[in-house]
């Protein structure tokens, strides 16, 4: 997998700008980017399923998975199929973050931000693969919707991993509290929508987009919304 870690994104995660970045930090970011690429063992996979919409949930056919919650139902409102995806950087990244947490906290924080950037980029990459498949059946994709967004409970994580058999294939597991381990991992559900579906534009769309921000984990503390802007994630996905 040849994916570059975007330094600008790393800075953004750290709350930095080109202006307040200094030489020492800049060099550390470069080092961490190199190191992550060296020690991580990224794994990703997805499967595509037909879905059946019930009154209070969405059933993923030919699997044990049932999706519950207003937000995921809204998210898949126009979808007829879904891709379920999982990505992980591997346990070595957690180990290294833990080690730097004891030896060099500055580096730990930067390393963590680089890892987050990297996994987002790998997820983007996987998504574009899925997009090609969607294109073939004349579909667009919804954005990636992950457990924990809005009222989409983290509990579903357990069954998502079972459906993808991630513990065996990618070493991706879940704790009793439904938290992904390794921690630098992502699971998400992407809907396939017919291209013929007309979506609102202009003001209506903007309101809808702001609405979507509410499904974000960081919505209540979002530093971007505070300043009247929004994050890269939304720019790409909404």
Partner 1 sequence: MEEIKIQYQKKVNYLSFVKKIFEEKNKKFILFDSAMGTTLQKMGLKAGEIPELFNFTHSDIILDIHKQNIKAGSDIIITNTFGANEIKLKGCKYSVEDVVQKAVSLARKAAGKKYVALDLGPTGQLLEPLGSLKFEQAYGLYKRQVIAGADAGADLIIIETISDLYEAKAAILAAKENSSLPVFCTMTFDQNGRTLTGTDPITMVNVLEGLGVDVIGINCSLGPKDILPIVDEILKYATIPVMVQPNAGLPEYVDGETVFNVSPEEFASFMGEIAKKGVRILGGCCGTTPEFIGILSDELKKIDPAVPEPVSFTCACSSTKTIIFNKNQPKIIGERINPTGNKIIKNALINQDYGEIINEAIVQKEAGADVLDVNIGLPEIDEPVIMVKLIKELQGIIDIPLQIDSANFEALEAGARIFNGKPILNSVTGKEKHMEQIFPIAKKYGACVIGLTMDEKGLPKTIEQRVEIAEKIINTANQYGIPKKNILIDCLVLTASTHQDQVLKSLKAMQIIKQKFGVTTVLGASNISFGLPRRDLINQTYMAMALTYGLDAPITDPLMPEIMETIFAYRVLSDIDKNSEDFISRYSNKQPEKLLLKEKTENSLSNIVIKGLLNQVEQKTLDLLKNTQPLSIIDNHLIPSLDIVGDMYDRGDIFLPQLIRSAETVKKAFKIIKSNMPHEQEKELTKGKILLATVAGDVHDIGKNIVKVLLENYGFNVVDLGKDVPIDSIVSACIEQNIKLVGLSALMTPTVENMKKTIEKLQKSDNECKIMVGGAVLNEKYANMINADYYGKDAREAVEIARKFFQNTK
- Name which of 173, 140, 126, 152 is nearest 216 in CA terms: 152
List of residues 6+ apart from 165 with CB closer than 8 A: none
Helix 7-14 and helix 105-136: axis angle, to 10°?
Answer: 120
Residue 122 CB, nearest approach to partner 1 (Å): 17
CB 40 within 8 A of CB 89: yes
Q: How many chain residues are in contact with partner 1, going by CB under 8 A?
A: 65
Among 49, 118, 143, 145, binds partner 1 (CB under 8 A): 49
Indicate whether 55 belongs to the interface with partner 1 (CB under 8 A). no
Among 1, 4, 17, 77, binds partner 1 (CB under 8 A): 17
Among 31, 45, 125, 233, binds partner 1 (CB under 8 A): 45
Residues 163 to 192: which contact partner 1 by CB under 8 A?
163-165, 167-171, 173-179, 181-183
**CB nearer to partner 1: pick between 165 and 205:** 165
Indicate whether 159 belongs to the interface with partner 1 (CB under 8 A). yes
Q: Can you read off the two tokens belonging to residue 224?
A: 């971007």
**CB nearer to partner 1: pick between 108 and 186:** 108
- With contacts defined by CB under 8 A, name the span among 70-78, 116-124, 160-168, 186-194 that binds partner 1: 160-168
Residue 150 CB, nearest approach to partner 1 (Å): 10
Beta-bridge mates of residue 50:
81
- With contacts defined by CB under 8 A, name the span among 19-27, 194-202, 205-213, 229-237 that binds partner 1: 19-27
DSSP 118-132: HHHHHHHHHHHHHHH
Among 47, 53, 74, 131, binds partner 1 (CB under 8 A): 47
Q: Residue 139: what are its φ and ψ, rounded to 5°? A: -120, 150
Element (H, E) at 31: helix 23-39
Radius of gyration of the chain (CA): 19
Indicate whether 24 belongs to the interface with partner 1 (CB under 8 A). yes
**CB nearer to partner 1: pick between 117 and 159:** 159
The region, left, alpha or beta by phi > 0 then psi within -120 to 50, assigned to residue 99 is alpha
Indicate whether 53 belongs to the interface with partner 1 (CB under 8 A). no
Indicate whether 148 belongs to the interface with partner 1 (CB under 8 A). yes
Residue 58 CB, nearest approach to partner 1 (Å): 15
Residue 166 CB, nearest approach to partner 1 (Å): 10
List of residues 6+ apart from 17 with CB closer than 8 A: 11
**CB nearer to partner 1: pick between 204 and 223:** 223
Q: How far apart are the first and last CA of the chain?
A: 26
CB 117 within 8 A of CB 33: no
């Amino acid at each position: 997998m040849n994916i570059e870690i975007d330094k600008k994104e790393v800075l953004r995660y750290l709350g930095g700008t080109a202006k307040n970045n200094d030489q020492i930090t800049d060099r550390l970011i470069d080092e961490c980017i190199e190191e992550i690429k060296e020690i991580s063992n990224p794994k990703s996979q997805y499967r595509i399923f037909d879905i059946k919409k019930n009154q209070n949930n969405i059933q993923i056919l030919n699997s044990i998975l049932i999706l519950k919650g207003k937000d995921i139902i809204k998210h898949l409102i126009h979808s007829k199929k879904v891709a379920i995806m999982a990505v992980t950087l591997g346990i070595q990244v957690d180990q290294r973050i833990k080690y730097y947490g004891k030896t060099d906290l500055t580096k730990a924080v930067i390393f963590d931000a680089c890892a987050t950037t990297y996994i987002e980029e790998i997820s983007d990459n996987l998504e574009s693969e899925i997009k090609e498949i969607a294109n073939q059946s004349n579909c667009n994709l919804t954005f990636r919707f992950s457990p924990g967004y809005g009222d989409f409970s983290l509990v579903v994580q357990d069954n998502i991993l079972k459906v993808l058999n991630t513990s065996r294939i990618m070493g991706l597991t879940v704790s009793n509290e439904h938290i992904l381990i390794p921690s630098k991992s992502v699971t998400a559900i992407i809907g396939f929508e017919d291209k013929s579906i007309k979506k609102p534009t202009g003001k209506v769309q903007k309101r809808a987009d702001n609405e979507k921000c509410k499904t974000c984990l960081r919505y209540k503390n979002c530093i971007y919304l505070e300043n009247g802007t929004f994050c890269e994630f939304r720019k790409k996905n909404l």
